[in-house]
Each structure stands twice: as structure tokens, then as C-alpha cells.
Amino acid sequence: MGKTILEVKDFSFTYNQAINKVLDHVNFRVDRGSFFCIIGANGSGKSTLCNSLVGLIPHYFSGEMEGGIRVDGMDVRKSSIGELSQKIGLVFQNPFNQLSYTAGTVAEELAYGLGNRGVPGKVMQEKIEHMAQLMRIDDVLSKNPTELSGGQVQRVALGSVFILDPEILVLDECTTQLDPLGAEEIFEIVKKINGSGVTVIVVDHDMERVASYADEVLVLSGGRAVKIGSP
């Protein structure tokens, strides 16, 4: 750790047709290999910030931007979502938004991103089996994702991003469909992935839950970064 892998510099964003800024001159850096947490209440701008980090803003959601974001040296404004996805992956707050809805089984859902990247079949199968065991969904690989419980879909959504081996993993309140025990299991898995060298950015509203995992915490309130430091 110590070398910056992600930098947000004086970043502001206002959605089209909106009056007020959702994010207002936000500044922070994330060190390579760290476990970084962003904490804030509903409406503080957390999800907008997540979408900005991976390039969905400005390439999918339009509005007025100020300042900038760099992901391992790449300017988010000038880089395509495809280029950014080679470096950074986002797990959405709503896991059903993560599904491709073109896959007939959980195994096909996990394979979706790998197929788009041209991963060979044998390697793909090995990665699917490993991820299914890690996420504890190996017993539902042949089921249609739309038939699963909310908690199971959450694990499939997580697995579909984890399996692509991003250097930076952004999780936007990714345990909303899980009970406390299931949420703790996911955080332990994420911590293990972080231990392998992946930079993790977890967005949550529960400081107590993330404090034991985080190297550094940013508090977001009203679109502003009001505090940053050790938990």
C-alpha cells in the first residue's frame, strides 16, 4: 500500500434538470491494496459517487461535472466504460440490476462477463466452479437466477463481478438482501479478496459494521466529504 490507485479531485456533479449538486467538491485518494469505506446516510450521494468512480457518470448518466476522477491514472471522463471495467468493477445496491437477464442459469450468469472477454472455456469453467464455492452458490448453478431468493441473487451479483478479477472492487451497500450472518460472511469474503491485493471500496450506511474491516473511512454528508481518517 501507499501508492494511489484512485483519486477524486474537487469533484462535483449535478444531474440534468436538477438544481442542487449531488456531490459537492469531493476530494479523496485510495491507496493500492487498501480497504476503503465510504459511509453516509440515504441521500448523501453515495450511489452517485459509485457510479462516477466506474464511469457510469458521465457516460451513462449525464449532467454537469466539475473536477475529475482518475482510476490508476485513467481519466474517467476521457476513458470508456469498457476501458475502465478492465480496472474497476461495481456491485450495485440492487442485485437484480446486476443480472444480464440473458442467462438461463446461474452458471451462465457467472460466465457472461468472462465470455465477453474471450476467456477460454476450460479456464471459464474453473473460474465458475471456484467462484460458486466461494460465494456458496454451487448448489444453484443450474437454476435460473430469476427463481432465486434475494440473498442468493445478491451472491450471484457479487460473484459475477468478483469473477472478472478487477484491480479495484466497489461495493454499493451490497448486502441489503442478506441477513446479518450472511452479510458478515460476505464481508469476510471481501476481506479475503482484499488480502490478495485487490483494492476494495465499500459503501455503506453502518459505520459499526465496516469499522473492523476498513483501513480508512470517508464520511459523506449532503454530497460533501466531511471527514476522512482511520475508523
Residue 85 · residue 117 · CB < 8 Å:
no
Domain boundary among 148, 165, 182: 165
Cell numbers representing residue 103 in the block? 442467462
Q: 148 and 170, same structural domain?
A: no
CA 7 to chain centre: 16
Cell numbers representing residue 150 in the block? 434475494
Domain boundary among 118, 142, 165: 165
Tens of pLDDT along 14-30? 999 999 999 999 999 99
Q: 115 and 9, same structural domain?
A: no
Can you give the pLDDT at residue 1?
54
CA-based nearest residue to 41, from 182, 196, 189, 207: 207
Q: 153 and 50, same structural domain?
A: no
Distance of alpha carbon 39 from alpha carbon 154, whole angstroms? 20
Q: 149 and 81, same structural domain?
A: no
Cα-Cα-Cα-Cα torsion 186, 189, 191, 196, nearest 10 degrees, comes to: -150
Distance of alpha carbon 23 from alpha carbon 29, whole angstroms? 16
Q: 203 and 110, same structural domain?
A: no
Task: Name residues of the chain where pLDDT drops below 70.
Answer: 1-2
Can you give the pLDDT at residue 176?
80
Q: 147 and 36, same structural domain?
A: no
Q: Which domain holds residue 143?
A: 94-165
Residue 153 · residue 177 · CB < 8 Å:
yes
Can you give the pLDDT at residue 2?
62
Q: 188 and 159, same structural domain?
A: no
Provide φ and ψ at 60, rounded to 5°. -120, -50
Q: Is 61 helix (H, G, I), strand (E, B) or coil?
A: coil
The total number of structural domains in the chain stands at: 2
Residue 183 · residue 151 · CB < 8 Å:
no
pTM of the model: 0.92
Can you give the pLDDT at residue 178?
81
Tens of pLDDT along 146-161? 999 888 998 999 999 9
Can you give the pLDDT at residue 14?
97
Q: 77 and 175, same structural domain?
A: yes
Q: 71 and 46, same structural domain?
A: yes
Cell numbers representing residue 208 in the block? 459499526
Q: 26 and 42, same structural domain?
A: yes
Residue with cell 459511509: 39
Distance of alpha carbon 135 from alpha carbon 83, whole angstroms? 27
Interior/surface letters 61-81, b for 16+ CB within 10 angstroms, e for the rest: eebebebebbbbebebeebee
